Amino acid sequence: MSIKPAAAAEAHDLVISRLVRAPRPLLWRAWTEPELLKQWWCPKPWTTEVRAFDLRPGGNFHTFMQGPDGGTSDNPGCFLEIVPYARIAFTSALLGGWRPATPWLCFSAVITLDDEEAATRYVARVMHPDVATRDRHAELGFFDGWNTCIDQLEAFAQQLG
Amino acid sequence: MSIKPAAAAEAHDLVISRLVRAPRPLLWRAWTEPELLKQWWCPKPWTTEVRAFDLRPGGNFHTFMQGPDGGTSDNPGCFLEIVPYARIAFTSALLGGWRPATPWLCFSAVITLDDEEAATRYVARVMHPDVATRDRHAELGFFDGWNTCIDQLEAFAQQLG
């Protein structure tokens, strides 16, 4: 599915595009097997508990993160779209079975994987309902946090190879 | 896909289950062809303009209703799931391409059609993020409004036959 948002809507997005030095099949495995996902999903030394991982449109996707200082981050949501080896979309706006959520931070994320040179172009487009939510996400450390996770994903996928 | 919400979540739902005296294929046509949908979608004498109808998961579904007194109701959203002749899910929580929305009323609706006797069991399950939103929807006239539309759908589908 192509996304053709209006220019105004694109202004609500935060986007990371990275060339990741690992093959798509290994990145796909690292993303879609919860026992693997939990090993790179949040910036270390925080840890991830995968509370639900029903990898299909409308399936629950729920992670719970915990920091060494006792801080926590609870993130229920649902998968929206799965295209094997190419695309995963998920949102915090809905829970499993399409049930509306009451997210502490409302966003949808579309992750795309494409071959590029001997590596993978990894793009994360994170869409928000408005500029205020986008800015809040940025101020919470979106770019540092997600880039750190992509570093961890790259290193982890290289180990899988 | 089956929906197995927790009991607590089900309390956020408004549900209508009706035996509609029309065959499923005609109800499906009346629902999925925008020129037909607009003829029964909102209680008359209000009229419906279908501003977007991209019938696929993540496709825009946008209706705009207008009353004889000049009142209007603008309802952008997106389709979530389409199972031909059996099931349509859509939401106001997201727009096309999975983009989070800022709905004036947040809900997801799952419509199911099943053969029953010589007619069709038509179930509309409308899910809300919390009890307050459910109650607001009920107070806005959910049951009267949606039942009137189902009456109109039944009469319209019978004419199609």
Rounded Cα distance between B42 and B139, Å, is 17
Listed residue (A111, A118, A52, A57) closest to A85, CA to CA = A111
- Do B127 and A100 count as a contact with CB atoms less than 8 A apart? yes
All residues of chain A having their beta carbon less than 8 Å from the beta carbon of residue B102 are 129-130
Q: What is the pLDDT of residues A107-157, one digit of tens each?
A: 999 999 999 999 999 999 999 999 999 999 999 999 999 999 999 999 999
Name the DSSP class of A96.
G
Q: Is the dihedral of CA B137, B140, B146, B147 positive or negative?
A: positive
All residues of chain B having their beta carbon less than 8 Å from the beta carbon of residue A12 are 99-100
pTM strictly above 0.90: yes
Inter-chain contacts counted by CB atoms under 8 A, chains A and B: 96
Nearest CA in chain B to A125: B99
Rounded Cα distance between A31 and A42, Å, is 12
The residues of B whose Cβ lies within 8 A of any Cβ of A are 1, 3-5, 9, 12, 56-58, 80-81, 89, 91, 93-102, 106-108, 110, 127-130, 133
Strand pairing partners for B112?
A: B87, B123
Span A74-80, mean pLDDT? 98
pLDDT of residue A98: 98
Residue A39 has pLDDT above 80, yes or no: yes
How deeply is B111 buried, as exposed, middle or buried, from its count of CB atoms within 10 A (0-12, 13-18, 19+)? middle
Report the residue from A57, A100, A129 with minimal CB separation from B108.
Answer: A100
Alpha-carbon distance B57 to nearest alpha carbon in chain A (angstroms): 8
Alpha-carbon distance B138 to nearest alpha carbon in chain A (angstroms): 17
Whole-Å CA distances, A76 to A12, A36, A52, A87, B13: 21, 19, 8, 20, 19
ipTM, 2 decimals?
0.93
The helix/strand/coil state of A104 is coil
Residue B2 has pLDDT above 50, yes or no: no
Strand pairing partners for B89?
A: B81, B110
Q: What is the pLDDT of residues B34-92, one digit of tens each?
A: 999 999 999 999 999 999 999 999 999 999 999 999 999 999 999 999 999 999 999 99
Q: Identify the band that residue A1 occupies on the pLDDT scale cut at 50, 70 and 90.
A: very low
Nearest CA in chain A to B56: A1
All residues of chain B having their beta carbon less than 8 Å from the beta carbon of residue A9 are 95, 99
Which helix (H) or strand (E) element contains residue A87? Answer: strand A87-91
